[in-house]
């Protein structure tokens, strides 16, 4: 077995899912639905936070106009949509122990998040890392693994695969108190404040 094959086998043994998602986009042409694109979206792996991945699948910054072809060709100025807009994200969170490791560089992680998660990372609280609030209604689905949702006054809910949270613009944080990564699917709906 060559080195590449053995690395792939080792990744599969550990149960790690591929860091890519297939995105199929459709459109109407002369009154018929057709495939506009069929791509694999590679996850962005944070350099400062091992195991933390983000994949922005789609973004409509505001209410889409279906009389025009929809496209998503460049990384946006904000991953958080405005009123009437939407965005769809896959996020893999490493265990919280990653952040407690002596080699973890919080400043580097914050700087990288401000670039990759533009429009969102600026909402993360310095006094309580991870806590944030945006003007969105979020549908958060536990896709794989388990995670803890933290709300105000340290209220915490344990969530497992298939659980769904409807987040109505409330202050919250996602905490992975387990020992394995967890992947979530987030659908953000821009709302009025």
> What's the rounded Cα separation, in Å, for the pair 138 and 82?
13
User: The pTM is what?
Assistant: 0.86
- Closest among 96, 115, 102 to 47, alpha carbons compared: 115
Q: What pLDDT, in 10s, does the model give residues 137-159?
A: 999 999 999 999 999 999 999 99
Q: What pLDDT, in 10s, does the model give residues 87-99?
A: 999 999 999 999 9
Assign residue 2 a region (left: φ > 0; alpha: ψ between -120 and 50; beta: otherwise): beta
Which helix (H) or strand (E) segment holds residue 139: the answer is strand 136-144
The rounded percent of the chain whose pLDDT value lies above 70 is 91
- pLDDT the model gives residue 70: 86
Q: What pLDDT, in 10s, does the model give residues 33-86?
A: 999 999 999 999 999 999 999 999 999 999 998 888 888 888 999 999 999 999
- Closest among 147, 142, 151 to 179, alpha carbons compared: 147
- pLDDT the model gives residue 3: 44
| Average pLDDT, integer, range 120-136 | 94
* 16 pLDDT tier (thresholds 50, 70, 90): low
Q: Is residue 114 scored above 50 in pLDDT? A: yes
Q: What is the 3-state secondary structure (H, E, C) of 36-58?
A: EEEEEEECEECCCCCCCEEEEEE
User: Residue 99 to residues 46, 87, 94, 120, 179: CA-CA distances in angstroms?
Assistant: 13, 27, 9, 19, 13
């Amino acid at each position: 077995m060559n080195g590449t094959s053995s690395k792939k086998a080792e990744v599969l043994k550990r149960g790690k899912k591929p860091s890519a998602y297939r995105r199929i986009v459709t459109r109407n042409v002369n009154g018929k639905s057709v495939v506009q694109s069929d791509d694999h979206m590679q996850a962005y792996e944070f350099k400062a936070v091992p195991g933390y991945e983000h994949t922005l699948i789609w973004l409509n910054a505001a209410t889409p106009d279906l009389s025009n072809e929809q496209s998503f060709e460049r990384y946006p100025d904000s991953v958080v949509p405005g009123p009437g807009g939407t965005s769809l994200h896959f996020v893999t969170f490493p265990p919280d122990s990653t952040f407690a490791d002596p080699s973890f560089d919080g400043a580097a992680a914050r700087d990288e998040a401000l670039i990759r998660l533009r429009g969102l990372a600026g909402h993360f609280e310095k006094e309580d890392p991870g806590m944030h609030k945006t003007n969105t209604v979020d549908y958060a689905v536990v896709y794989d693994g388990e995670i803890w949702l933290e709300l105000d006054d340290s209220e915490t809910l344990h969530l497992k695969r298939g659980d769904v949270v409807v987040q109505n613009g409330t202050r919250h944080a996602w905490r992975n108190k387990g020992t394995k990564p967890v992947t979530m699917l987030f659908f953000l709906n821009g709302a009025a404040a």
